Structure 1
């Protein structure tokens, strides 16, 4: 009805929320301010068209703000050239997810417990051979044990580990 004082009160009470709606859609402060101005011009010109239909006036205002921001964004984006599609954006993240990490931790704990069941020298040999990459010859030289004995110990240790892990 053209009541400026009422309009000012409406603006003071709703502009921050409506600006937030516009800013979320547009992601640009200047564009959001312009969209908000468009909203309040519509409200000033069309306030008489609001009908109580079970929705609050705030819902009507938010809808106006969202629609104004979406329209402005469509116009803005229509003039832009599409960015080239990078196939890497569609490739799944190769890193393990939470479930895989949890499973790996459980397996590592089980392996650690099974390694503790081996004699300490054999457990150390298994660690060096299979976790650090030491060769049989390097293990033989480092421990002073014959090469064939190192192979036998490692084979038997792996069989014990497999049996322990299967329990």
Structure 2
């Protein structure tokens, strides 16, 4: 009777090989999950940015109407960009910044009258123009986008 010194070695090799395949599979699943989360985050960021852009256009359209009027902001705290844009979740008046946030279907916008000027960009020379700051916020999931424009009305 001859003894085979390699008896059971095939089982050990196949178990090690199976362990390596399992680790590769687990790593691949974790990588796929991470990529799915990143893609979801990018989609939310895009939706919030598009919501902010839409709210900004609605705000600019409001300012563009001939009948639109708003008192000139007074004081540094009321003429600065509204700080609550980073935390706002509902429309309404904010006494700290002096702006009124208007809810749209996709976000919020606020308008500030910065006063009259004769040196606005893209306005004919010596033409009086009233400058309005329109700040818009879009929220989608846990993503928030804030955009702003200066609108010259003459």
Structures share a fold, TM > 0.5? no
Structure with max Cα Rg: 1
Structure number with greater CO (CA < 8 Å, separation at least 6) is 2
Q: Which has the higher strand share?
A: 2
After TM superposition, the score normalised by the length of structure 2 is: 0.27
Q: Which has the higher helix share?
A: 1
After TM superposition, the score normalised by the length of structure 1 is: 0.26
